[in-house]
Structure 1
Amino acid sequence: MEIKFFKPKNEVLQKYIEGYYFLTNSKSDLPLEYYTFPNNYSIISIIENSEVIYSESKVIVKEKKGTPLNSDLICHYKKPIKLSYEGNINEITFYFKPLGLNAFLEKSLCHYTNDFFSNFIPFDDYKEIFSSILKENDLDKKTELIENYWLSKLKDFQHPFLNQMIIDLKDTQRDYSISDLAKKHNTTRQNLTKHFESNLCKSPSDFKKIQRFREALKSQINSQTKNNLTSLSYDMLFYDQSHLIKDFKSLTGLTPKKFFKNISSQENGEVNWLFV
């Protein structure tokens, strides 16, 4: 298995896309299995010549020649997902920042989702373009084609309070409650929740929980000296250590100690999986 991760070169796209990676697996490789964990990105995975089998919290990808392009949107999972790859696999996966994907779509994000994994074909030329991109072997050309395509679809996205509210929820110096945020942005909790579910496909409380988990993970990965759980709880604005443990077990199925011991970071911490 090989992963190559890229940040957008274009400054405009950097506002909306965190990054994207190319994953390749060959028949000579052992079957690949790993767990991925909730985050607040909207994730698009595109693959061709592969059969994709879905079950509860598990996805199996098997090489199958002649299978049409498969594109999935994942933006509202709250439990670990186990992925399994067999055979020759060629995949592109995008990480869109919170609200980022909305800037390219005709309708709000919730119109493109239904199940755990949602079939995502948003434009008439989408399949044709990404089929050709998947066949391109030159990485520089491949990234150029990708960025030009997303730029051609850019519509931008304006919202009266969601952009600033997400900045507030990412603030590790202040622990805003959902009621605090509603008051700060002159709206109600009910209206706030409605807009989160429409444009982010998750509730404000789920967003906050996942963001705090991701910040804790990033802190441990980037720290030269790993924090103990008490310090980590304090730094990431958990109520206490038991709160941190409860959230980690909810989102990963593991205690923080076991999770950090087994997690594998790819591409300088941009991709974090637990291999089976």
Structure 2
Amino acid sequence: MKLEFYKPKNQILKKYIEGFYFLTQDKISNQIKYLTFPNNYCVLSVNQHAVVELTERQILISSCEDQHIMADFVSRYSEPIEVIYHGVINEITIYFKPLGANHFMDSAKIFNLPIMTDFNPFDDFKPKMEIIFNEGIRERQLELLEIYWLSKYDKQDLYQMRQILIDVESNLKIAQVAAKHQVSRKHITTMFLRHIGKTPSEYRKIHRFRNTLLNYKNSKNLTTLSYGNFFYDQSHFIKDFKALTHLHPSIFFKQVHTEKDNMWIFI
């Protein structure tokens, strides 16, 4: 298996897209399995000549000559997802930053379900992705990807939502955030579901978890890691961590290299 990650070059795309993953697997008999953990990105994965099956906490991608482009869009999950690849795989994944997908796709459509299979946001989406897959030079693929997503760029006025997001990330209580912005708690939840695809409490829980991964290397122990990332105490940190990963933090950090861009456990 070959996995490559690239950040956008275009300044507009940099604001909204974290990066592009290219995954290739050319051995028919091989099976790849890994666990991916909750994050606040929206993840759009596109496969060529594949079928995608969704079961409870599992995504199965199998090579298939009869299918051309299949895509899935993931905006909300609170437990590990097992991803399994069978056969020859060619995949491109776009990681949208929080609120980022709103500037390219209709939020009323993309956040209907936590995971959407056979995802097709535009009439030209599958034909364009087929062209990009068939381009043999990686730099040209990246150029075509950026051209395509820039063609879909439609800047939205999300100023208030961004400010609310900042306050939620800073660990203000939802009631305090609502009072500060002169809206109800119910309205904030509605805004989050519409533009983020998850509730404020879900978003904050995952945000704290992801911060612990980034800050782990510079922390002396789990106690300092807990207090440094807005957990009430170490037991609160361990409880949330185990809910999101199904693993104790000490076991998780032995298996995952947190300094890498992708934080997966291959199984």
- Per the normalisation by structure 1, the TM-score is 0.92
- Per the normalisation by structure 2, the TM-score is 0.95
Q: Hey, what does 2:260 align to over in structure 1?
A: 269
User: Map of 1:30-179 to 2, 5 A cutoff?
Assistant: 30-105=30-105, 107-109=106-108, 111-114=110-113, 116-171=115-170, 175-179=171-175
Q: Hey, what does 1:197 align to over in structure 2?
A: 193
Take 2:185 and 2:195, find their aligned partners in 1: how far apart are those partners?
A: 15
Q: Hey, what does 2:235 align to over in structure 1?
A: 242
Superposition deviation, residue 226 in structure 1: 4.7
Single out whichever of 22-31 and 66-75 deviates more from structure 2.
22-31
Partner letter of residue 103 of structure 2? A
Partner letter of residue 235 of structure 1? G
CA gap 1:56/1:90 in 2 versus in 1, 3 angstroms:
same
Of 165, 181, 186, the residue aligned with 2:182 is 186
Q: Hey, what does 1:7 align to over in structure 2?
A: 7
Take 1:88 and 1:153, find their aligned partners in 2: how far apart are those partners?
A: 30
Whether 2:221 is the aligned partner of 1:228: answer: yes
Superposition deviation, residue 134 in structure 1: 1.1
Take 2:261 and 2:157, find their aligned partners in 1: how far apart are those partners?
A: 27
Whether 2:202 is the aligned partner of 1:211: answer: no
Runs of 4+ residues over 6 Å off in structure 1: none
Take 1:4 and 1:131, find their aligned partners in 2: how far apart are those partners?
A: 19
CA gap 1:112/1:193 in 2 versus in 1, 3 angstroms:
closer
Take 1:28 and 1:143, find their aligned partners in 2: how far apart are those partners?
A: 26
CA gap 1:263/1:29 in 2 versus in 1, 3 angstroms:
farther
Say what the alpha-carbon RMSD is for the aligned residues: 1.6
Superposition deviation, residue 53 in structure 1: 2.0
Superimposed CA distance per residue, residues 228-276 of structure 1 (whole angstroms, 9 cap, x where no aligned partner):
11010011110000010000111011111111111245xx521110111
Q: Is the 1:112–1:120 Cα contact (8 Å) retained in structure 2?
A: no
Identity %: 40
Take 2:179 and 2:3, find their aligned partners in 1: how far apart are those partners?
A: 44
Superposition deviation, residue 112 in structure 1: 4.9
Unaligned runs of 5+ in 2: none
Take 2:130 and 2:50, find their aligned partners in 1: how far apart are those partners?
A: 13
Unaligned runs of 5+ in 1: none
CA gap 1:76/1:110 in 2 versus in 1, 3 angstroms:
farther
SS in structure 2 opposite 1:62?
Answer: strand
SS in structure 2 opposite 1:269?
Answer: coil
CA gap 1:21/1:177 in 2 versus in 1, 3 angstroms:
same
Superposition deviation, residue 68 in structure 1: 2.6
Superposition deviation, residue 189 in structure 1: 0.4
